[in-house]
């Protein structure tokens, strides 16, 4: 069946949905309206993990290949606390420039026959469309006008953050915690290609005003941050995009994600704190799920209801992880005085719902013991039941 779809917002969510729907049925009439000019975007690079590449590969191998080709990868993390550092070998992670990702998705959408209209600001659902997709980000105008219907709830984090870039290319996922007379301020950075890295800086409101960041103009603020993070920047500048400013993170949820033929996608539907680096992945997965639901259900209301049900359920654990991760940083004084390798280990556990309630040193000890136990279990599984029984018998005989 030929369907007319209007996507409002040319971010990852809107562009990827357009790609998937056009692949499903080339006769669909699909337009993406993006308020900004082509090639302009906010933010810097974003992180993602192997699982996303696998899912992209299943849904559209061509764009998956392009995304992987233009991403950088790392498998180490380093945490600098004052002048001490701890390095940790971990899972493979990826980074890609937001700019590059949008360019690749837009190119693919166009090649498939999607109409892309830039400098096209849409505040109301256009008439005549079978489906209108609000992929217009966290401040979605289409959602805000119907906030009561959607049951929109927002809460603001306590800490201040700014999303910056730098020409310093970090060779590992880098955390830098700096102590000032007004409290701690920290940055985390990762390379994403094109000779740049992302650098997100965060601090408590007390440190923010104490350091005068609330009063400093853009250039003064950057100079101050460059001094505070000189140890990891190696003389490279921090760069702010036009319009970039200090913010507090808004966590957004909606009770329902659709209204008639209007459906919410990506950040317009939900946000998760940036410290878990998941928003883009979730936006792309929303698109996969919505495209799948539209394929499986002939009636639009059924498809939209199935999409909402599935994604709301899948998001629960990520939303919980994001809340605990944001809290970990808000409670930084609880962890920052541990020896760096312990602090770093607990930084890796920041999604845990238990950690805020257990003394950090005790949690660290329990986690290590559980890790050793798990290693023993894995060894036993690997040896197989007979070898494990023999091992057990030998150790009991020795005790006797």
Ligand X SMILES: Cc1cc2nc3c(=O)[nH]c(=O)nc-3n(C[C@H](O)[C@H](O)[C@H](O)COP(=O)(O)OP(=O)(O)OC[C@H]3O[C@@H](n4cnc5c(N)ncnc54)[C@H](O)[C@@H]3O)c2cc1C
Question: CA 357, CA 359: separation in Å to the nearest integer?
Answer: 7
Residue 12 interacting with ligand X (CB under 6 A): yes
30 contacts ligand X (rule: CB under 6 A): no
Looking at the Cβ atoms of 178 and 271, the one nearer to ligand X is 271
* Residues in a beta bridge with 31: 6, 115
Asked if residue 322 binds ligand X (CB under 6 A), the reply is no
Size of the site for ligand X (CB under 6 A): 33
User: Cα 132 to chain center, whole Å?
Assistant: 25
- Positions 162 through 181 that interact with ligand X (CB under 6 A): 163
Which of these ranges, 218-226, 276-284, 344-352, 382-390, lies near ligand X under the rule CB under 6 A?
276-284
Contact between 77 and ligand X by CB under 6 A: the answer reads: no
What would the two tokens of residue 381 be?
């599984």
Told to check if 189 binds ligand X by CB under 6 A, we report no
Residues in the chain: 400
Q: How far is the CB of 302 from ligand X (least distance, A)?
A: 24
Smallest CA-to-CA distance from 296 within 283, 305, 32 is with 305
Looking at 20, 187, 283, 288, which residue binds ligand X (CB under 6 A)?
Answer: 283
Helix (H, G, I), strand (E, B) or coil at 127: coil
Residue (178 or 281) nearer to ligand X, CB: 281
Q: Is residue 325 at the binding interface for ligand X, with CB under 6 A as the rule?
A: no
How many CB atoms are closer than 10 A to CB 334? Answer: 14
By CB under 6 A, residue 157 contacts ligand X? no
Closest CA to 234 of 170, 323, 294, 161: 170
Does 278 sit near ligand X (CB under 6 A)?
yes
Q: How far is CA 151 from the centre of its chain?
A: 23
Compute, in degrees rounded to 10, the torsion defined by CA atoms 68, 16, 138, 224. Answer: 20
Q: Where does this chain touch ligand X (CB under 6 A) — which range of 9-17, 63-71, 172-180, 204-212?
A: 9-17
Closest CA to 238 of 152, 336, 166: 166
The answer to the question of residue 160 lying near ligand X (CB under 6 A) is no
The residue assigned the tokens 């994001």 is: 322
Q: Per the structure block, which two tokens stand in for 139?
A: 């401040």
In the complex, minimum distance from the CB of residue 193 to ligand X, in angstroms, rounded to a whole number: 14
Site map for ligand X, 231-270, x if CB under 6 A?
Answer: -----------------------------------xx---
Nearer of residues 268 and 360 to ligand X, judged by Cβ: 268
Q: Does 135 bind ligand X (CB under 6 A)?
A: yes
Q: Residues 279, 272: contact at Cβ < 8 Å?
A: yes
Greatest distance between any 2 Cα atoms in the chain: 83
Query: Which residues form the interface with ligand X (CB under 6 A)?
Result: 8-14, 33-36, 43, 46-48, 121-123, 135-137, 141, 163, 200, 266-267, 274, 277-281, 283
């Amino acid at each position: 069946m030929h369907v007319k779809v209007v996507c409002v917002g040319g971010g990852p969510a809107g562009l990827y949905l357009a790609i998937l729907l056009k692949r499903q049925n080339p006769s669909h009439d699909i337009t993406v309206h993006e308020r900004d000019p082509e090639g302009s975007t906010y933010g810097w690079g974003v992180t993602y993990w192997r699982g996303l590449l696998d899912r992209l590969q299943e849904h559209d191998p061509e764009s998956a290949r392009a995304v992987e080709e233009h991403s950088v990868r790392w498998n180490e993390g380093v945490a600098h606390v004052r002048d001490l550092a701890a390095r940790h070998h971990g899972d493979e992670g990826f980074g890609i420039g937001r700019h590059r990702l949008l360019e690749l998705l837009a190119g693919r959408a166009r090649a498939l026959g999607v109409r892309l209209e830039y400098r096209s600001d849409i505040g109301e659902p256009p008439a005549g469309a079978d489906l209108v997709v609000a992929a217009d980000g966290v401040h979605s105008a289409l959602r805000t006008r119907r906030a009561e219907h959607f049951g929109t709830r927002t809460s603001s984090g306590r800490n201040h953050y700014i999303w910056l870039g730098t020409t310093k290319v970090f060779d590992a996922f880098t955390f830098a915690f700096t102590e000032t007379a007004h409290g701690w301020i920290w940055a985390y950075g990762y390379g994403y290609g094109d000779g740049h890295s992302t650098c997100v800086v965060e601090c408590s409101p007390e440190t923010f005003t104490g350091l005068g960041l609330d009063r400093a103009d853009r250039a003064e603020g950057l100079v101050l941050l460059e001094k505070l993070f000189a140890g990891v920047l190696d003389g490279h500048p921090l760069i702010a995009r036009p319009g970039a400013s200090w913010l507090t993170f808004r966590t957004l949820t909606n009770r329902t994600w659709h209204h008639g033929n209007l459906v919410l996608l990506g950040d317009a539907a939900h946000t998760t704190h940036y410290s878990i680096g998941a928003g883009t992945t979730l936006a792309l997965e929303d698109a996969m799920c919505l495209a799948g639901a539209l394929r499986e259900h002939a009636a639009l209301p059924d498809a939209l209801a199935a999409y909402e049900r599935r994604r709301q359920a899948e998001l629960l654990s990520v939303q919980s992880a994001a809340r605990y991760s944001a809290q970990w940083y808000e409670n930084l004084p609880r962890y920052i005085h541990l020896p760096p390798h312990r602090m770093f280990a607990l930084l890796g556990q920041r999604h845990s719902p238990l950690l805020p309630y257990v003394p950090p040193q005790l949690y660290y000890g329990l986690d290590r013991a559980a890790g050793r136990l798990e290693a023993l279990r894995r060894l036993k599984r690997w040896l197989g039941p007979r070898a494990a029984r023999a091992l057990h018998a030998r150790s009991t005989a020795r005790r006797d």
